[in-house]
Structure 1
Amino acid sequence: METDIIPPSCCKIKSKNISLIVKHIFKELYPDIGKNKVLEIIFVSENEIRDYNKQYRKIPRSTNVLTFMYSELDDYIPTLASIVLCIDVIKRRAKAHKRGINDELKHTLIHGILHAAGFDHHKLSQRKKMRALEDKYMKEFQTVVLI
């Protein structure tokens, strides 16, 4: 699995560590995933993510992360999904959750990766499973610095 990252203009991120998290999670969840698969990680402004949220989810406000699935695990389409992140919203959520920006970004990234891996949280049973995986990976990557 490859990771294409479009970094934010506002700050430096550790692209290598983002790729490490992506590869680890997908290798664990889908050990047979092809090496030709690509997951895009795109950092955008608050206005851009608000526009995406309004256009694709009909919700006219900004959000921290959106995941767009393209090929599921189809071998003929290389890009699996795009995870769109907004640092400004992530910073506000970090403050609201009383945790550092690095941990909030890590949690948001893991959340987006799990969506790209096919997990959802609309039903309670799905939400419990997804949260358990988020907690597991937050512990596993506790010392990893992203920003």
Structure 2
Amino acid sequence: MMALTLHLQQAGLFELPHRSTMARWMRAALEGHDGEFTVRFVLEDEGRELNHQYRRKDYATNVLTFDYTREPVVTADIVICPAVLERQAKEQEKPFRDHLAHLLVHGVLHARGYDHLNDEEAEEMESKETEILTGLGFPNPYSDRIGMVHD
């Protein structure tokens, strides 16, 4: 089994799955690579500030990935805003847990070099996300195409 170092930080009180559960989801997205991640769960104000600072968008987003990878270890900080996830999960009529798994996989794939800046990249990344998530027992996150992950 590959090595995964996972640090979790919470800027508020959020009801989240157990650390080992989130680590299992992230390991699946690493697909044999070693990884070192800090996942920070933030309130909307911090999410908005980070999104504005790094992406010039003035709203809290669901996930941001800060990739520091130096082969062979996949290394990144992943910032997740649970309030945004909660709203999106309701809009998409899916459990919060499913959406969180999707965004953790999404963040790890960004750290592995996947992106969605154009249609071809988006199709490749979404296909990989779907493969990983269905392998973990989750439904296809893009089955209805409502409220996609990407901003």
Q: What secondary structure sits across from 2:70 in the alignment?
A: coil
Amino acid in structure 2 at the alignment position of 1:89: V
Displaced runs of 4+ in structure 1, greater than 3 A?
none
State the match for 2:7 in structure 1: 4
Identity within the alignment, %:
29
Q: Which amino acid aligns with 1:15?
A: R
Tell me how far 1:79 sits from its aligned partner. 7.6
Q: What is the count of residue pairs matched by the alignment?
A: 134
Aligned partner letter, 2:124: K
CA distance in 1, matches of 2:24, 2:101: 12
**Cα displacement string for residues 70-123 of structure 1 (whole angstroms, at most 9, x for unaligned residues):** 2x2246xx7811010011000000011111111111111111111111100001
Aligned position for 1:41: 39
Distance 1:98 1:125, change over 3 A: same
- TM-score where L is the length of structure 1: 0.83
Give the whole-Å Cα distance in 2 for the aligned partners of 1:108 and 1:12: 13
Counterpart for residue 94 of structure 2: 99
Residues of 1 paired with 2:103 and 2:20: CA distance?
Answer: 17
Residue 141 of structure 1 is matched in structure 2 by: 136
Q: CA RMSD in A?
A: 1.8
Q: Which has the higher contact order (CA 8 A, sep 6+)?
A: 1
Amino acid across the alignment from 2:18 = K
Give the CA deviation at 1:10: 2.3
Matched position secondary structure for 2:40: strand
Please, which runs of 5 or more residues in structure 2 have no aligned partner? 139-151
TM-score (norm 2): 0.81
What pairs up with 1:24-103 in 2 under 5 angstroms? Answer: 24-26=28-30, 28=31, 31=32, 33-34=33-34, 37-70=35-68, 72-74=69-71, 80-103=75-98
Query: 2-side partners of 1:79 and 1:114: how far apart?
Result: 10
